[in-house]
Amino acid sequence: MNNDNEANDANDNGDELHVDLPETERQELLRRRREVVHEIQMLCQELAQLLLEQQPQLLLLEQQRLLQEQHHLLQDDVDARMIRVARR
């Protein structure tokens, strides 16, 4: 194994290497792994950006849900008062 390949293997963050494969196949697997990791990182960044953009909408939806819940609780109180008044 030459020094370049050792450097590539050393940059692999200690993950399992397929040492039984010919050197070129190991290099190809490592290259593919780095590409996949890069793609995953890019997708995570895109997802984080989308969530950040949608955060105001999500907050508005949560506020709407809380207002509806309060409305239902208030309506329950009004209904309970009406029943008490009707029973008198």
1 contacts 23 by C-beta, under 8 angstroms: yes
Give the residue, 21 or 60, on which the prediction is more confident.
60
Domain count, the chain: 1
Residue 1 has pLDDT above 50, yes or no: no
- The residue range of the domain holding 66 is 3-87
Residue-wise pLDDT tens digits, 34-86: 999 999 999 999 999 998 999 999 899 999 999 999 999 999 988 888 888 88
Give dist(CA 56, CA 41) in Å, integer.
24
Give dist(CA 72, CA 78) in Å, integer.
10
* pLDDT at 18 (0 to 100): 58
Q: Is 21 left (phi over 0), alpha (psi -120 to 50) or beta?
A: beta
